[in-house]
Amino acid sequence: MPPLAETAGLLADRTRAAFCQALLDGRAWTAGELARHAGVRPSTASEQLTRLIEGGLLTEERQGRHRYVRLAGPEAAALIEALASYASYSSSPRSLRQSVRLSAEAKARTCYDHLAGQLGVALADAMIARGLVADDSGLAVTPAGRTWLADALGYRHPAGTRRPLVRSCLDWTERRPHLAGALGAALCATALARQWVRRVGSGRAVKVTPVGGEAFRELLGVRF
Amino acid sequence: MPPLAETAGLLADRTRAAFCQALLDGRAWTAGELARHAGVRPSTASEQLTRLIEGGLLTEERQGRHRYVRLAGPEAAALIEALASYASYSSSPRSLRQSVRLSAEAKARTCYDHLAGQLGVALADAMIARGLVADDSGLAVTPAGRTWLADALGYRHPAGTRRPLVRSCLDWTERRPHLAGALGAALCATALARQWVRRVGSGRAVKVTPVGGEAFRELLGVRF
DNA sequence: GGGATGGTTCGGGCCGCGCCGAACTTTTCC
DNA sequence: GGAAAAGTTCGGCGCGGCCCGAACCATCCC
């Protein structure tokens, strides 16, 4: 079996796909949580998780009687994003898309380790409008952007890392790009740490707190 | 079945994956060519092609008794690239990788509508070194680059298109990025039109002609 | 220790699907 | 018109894999 087909096969199953999409929130889930989420028996979940781990898409971490599982890394997340984005791009009738836009996840959510949804797109737009990120056919952080990153988030990009500072990630609800890469991750981490956003429910949805609304307005002029 | 799993399923089969990877050369193939290429009977190829077309990954064009088939567009190509790149990234033992590097495809080939392989990476490096493309955490064409595009290739980027001028595409033989997007396509089209490279065999491999060697050296200082 | 909970292993059932060959249709060429 | 070639449709075969329940193991808590 050629490697492409094999990798695709990992994601070509209802249950495994549900696992991976849930794990796009970047957190570690237990096997049982994923089983309930996908609506299968624990035994089934256990087997499918093993396959995903052996396939290199997930990593596990055992803690006592729990088996925690998370995406193997940004590359794996990017692959799943790419597939999900293409799939929703090529399918999804209009009416469904409309109703999706009204959900909590569409307003604001995490996408692996960065922010997405209407919030994510608004933040991306704001950073481009303020000249912190340039969108000259491909995204790039400007010098002003680097300063802002250090001042507002306390983030300095280590030289020589493989991960790009900023990467565009197509938003499957908004159909517009938001910011991924190290910048996106730093922004999301800060937002969670300083309680600008709070997770709601067990999924990927987040909610902007009053403090967060203030912060986003002050730092980037985003009104949400 | 969730859309992600469905799309993945299209590529989760030996035969269909072989079709798609062959079609990454950007050309239109007949059903029979693909059948021989993948080592299946025409009847099988016919059925699988229908599935890929209904799934939106391919488009067809009938001409007489021939059924020509090609990738549906840059998005589809990008998806297949992403999967192929990840698959070879996560698998592929060292020895295999070594022998792959010596093949004709590794030296120079097309990747959907742009140039890849050692040639593609060399061209990308040269354009970055000459300041035509900036690699400041994300790729972007510089003003000098736009001038060069107009002068050397006669290409002017239409405003308001959805397709990015330049996009990074991870090379699965070199493990380094080469240039995709409209710029990559324009460069590849020019190279083929002006006989800088010539296709060899039925696959994606190309060969740099003497004229091409001259042109690449003159325009970008690339010695190949 | 004993009960409850999370997770795994194993056997078995079942459905899907990828493949082929044979028969058929359509187009091309002589 | 007739033969050859490209492609399609259909019936059928067989494998793979997805799922479950039952039994079992490991951990945690009282």
Q: What is the mean pLDDT of chain A?
A: 87
Share above pLDDT 90 across residues of chain A, in percent, rounded to a whole number: 53
With CA of A16 and C1' of each nucleotide, the nearest comes out as: D18
Nearest CB among B1, B84, B138 relative to A166 is that of B138
Q: Are B35 and B54 in contact (CB under 8 A)?
A: no
pLDDT on residue B170: 80
Chain B 2-61, residues with CB within 8 Å of chain A CB atoms: 2-14, 16-18, 20-21, 55-56
The CATH topology of domain A3-72 is Arc Repressor Mutant, subunit A (1.10.10)
Among A1, A4, A85, A128, the strongest candidate for a mutation testing the B interface, having the largest count of B CBs within 10 A, is: A4
| Token couple for A21 | 């999409």
Output the CA–CA distances (angstroms, integers) from residue B30 to A209, B36, B56, B62, B76, in the order listed. Answer: 57, 10, 18, 9, 19
What is the pLDDT at residue A139? 84
- Identify the H or E element spanning A32: helix A31-38
Count of residues making up chain A: 224
Give the model's confidence band at A44: pLDDT under 50 very low, under 70 low, under 90 confident, else very high.
very high
Question: Mean per-residue pLDDT for A136-140?
Answer: 78
Residues (27-86, chain B) with CB within 7 Å of strand D atoms? 30-32, 35, 42-43, 45-47, 49-50, 65-67
- Residue B136 with chain A: CB contacts under 8 Å: 140-141
Query: What length is written for chain B?
Result: 224
Q: Where are the domains of chain B?
A: 3-72, 94-220
Confidence of residue A170 (pLDDT cuts 50, 70, 90): confident
Q: Among B122, B140, B118, which residue's Cα sits nearest to residue B131? A: B140
The 3-state secondary structure of chain B reads CCHHHHHHHHHCCHHHHHHHHHHCCCCCEEHHHHHHHHCCCHHHHHHHHHHHHHCCCEEEEEECCEEEEEECCHHHHHHHHHHHHHHHHHCCCHHHHHHHHCCHHHHCEEECCEEEHHHHHHHHHHHHHCCCEECCCCCEECHHHHHHHHHHHCCCCCCCCCCCCCEEEECCCCCCEEEEHHHHHHHHHHHHHCCCEEECCCCCEEEECHHHHHHHHHHHCCCC
| Helix, strand or coil, per DSSP, at residue A199 | strand
Q: Which of A12, A87, A88 sits opposite B12 (nearest CB)?
A: A12
pLDDT tens for A79-125 read 998 898 888 777 655 555 555 555 777 889 888 889 999 999 999 99
Q: A198-224 b/e with 16+ CB inside 10 Å = b?
A: eeeeebbbbebeeebeebbeebbebee
Read off the pLDDT of residues A201-216 as tens digits, 9 standing for 90 and up: 656 889 999 999 999 9
Chain-chain contact of B80 with A14 (C-beta, under 8 angstroms)? no
* B-proximal residues of A, 134-193, CB under 8 Å: 134, 136-141, 157, 164-168, 181
pLDDT tens for chain B, 224 residues: list them. 788 999 999 999 999 999 999 999 888 899 999 999 999 999 999 999 999 998 999 999 888 888 999 999 888 998 998 898 888 777 655 555 555 556 778 889 998 899 999 999 999 999 999 999 988 777 888 899 999 999 999 999 887 676 888 888 888 788 788 999 899 999 999 999 999 999 886 568 899 999 999 999 999 999 87
